[in-house]
Amino acid sequence: MLAGARVALEISQQDALKDFITGEFLAPTPDVSDEDLWDYVTANTMTIYHPTSTCAIGPVVDARLRVHGVRGLRVVDASVMPSIVRGNTNAPVIMIAEKAADMIRQDATAAVTDVAATA
């Protein structure tokens, strides 16, 4: 973590970036001690919070993302992920949504076919 912080600090000090760094930027100097750099990093960084996995397939939803015990409701977001991805959740959520759209379409087609067969 400290090695990455030092690289970021070095990059931020380059002349090419001076026009882009505006406002107050109280970064430590390149000769900062590891302890002081760690204090700076922990005080000035945070997680980007990508909450996931709160509606697990099985206990909450079935394999077709339908909420158990609630007719007509599906969960189609990062909460159905079985585990947290190591990067941004945007692309995986888009994939979940695409798959859910296919499942909804299939289920609607099957329902229409069933109704037509019984008529």
Q: What DSSP designation does 67 have?
A: B
- Which residues face 33 on adjacent strands? none
Which of 9, 40, 50, 74 is flagged as catalytic? Answer: 50
Question: Packing angle between helix 34-44 and helix 2-12, nearest 10 degrees?
Answer: 80
Which tokens sit at 41? Answer: 């990093």
| Helix ranges, 1-119 (H) | 2-12, 34-44, 90-118
50 flagged as catalytic:
yes
Confirm if 99 and 75 have CB atoms less than 8 A apart. Answer: no
| Side-chain half-sphere exposure of 89, counting CA atoms within 13 A | 19
Q: Which two tokens stand for residue 2?
A: 């400290």
Give me the active site residues, please. 50
